[in-house]
């Protein structure tokens, strides 16, 4: 599957463990500063509770991460929910795939502004 380069791609943030991908060394350092560990190109971090998850999502939004769309509480659905609940007050970006080699990145306005 074709993926954007030099971006943080959030693959899972709903489960007990958040999963990200990133090939950009500067952003990878930021991800590690958030407590993510890298193994075989995938960064993972345990989510201790909902407050921790909200805090991590907020920090990933600030880093310009792409939240992948899909079904069953995809990262895009999670960040949209947090925006609707007022926890995310900044623009955020989502990514979906039309085909394996064609993706669409959309920038969303926050549901609640500061």
Note the pLDDT tens digit of each residue in 37-86. 999 889 999 999 999 999 999 999 999 999 999 888 999 999 999 999 99
Query: Is the pLDDT at 29 greater than 70, yes or no?
Result: yes
C-alpha torsion sign, points 32, 38, 98, 111? negative
C-alpha torsion sign, points 31, 37, 38, 44? negative
Query: Is the pLDDT at 105 greater than 80, yes or no?
Result: yes
87-95 average pLDDT score: 96
pTM more than 0.85: yes
- In angstroms, how far is CA 54 from the centroid of its own chain? 11
Q: What is the distance between the terminal CA atoms of the chain, rounded to a whole angstrom?
A: 37
């Amino acid at each position: 599957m074709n993926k954007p380069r030099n971006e943080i791609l959030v693959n899972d943030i709903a489960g007990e463990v958040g999963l990200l991908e990133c090939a950009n060394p500067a952003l990878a350092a930021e991800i590690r500063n958030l407590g993510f560990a890298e193994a075989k190109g995938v960064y993972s971090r345990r989510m201790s509770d909902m407050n921790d998850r909200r805090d991590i999502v907020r920090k990933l939004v600030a880093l310009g991460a792409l939240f992948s769309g899909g079904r069953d509480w995809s990262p895009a659905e999670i960040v949209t929910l947090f925006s609707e609940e007022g926890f995310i007050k900044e623009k955020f970006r989502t990514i979906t795939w039309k085909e394996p080699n064609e993706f669409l990145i959309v920038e969303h306005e926050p549901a609640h502004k500061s």
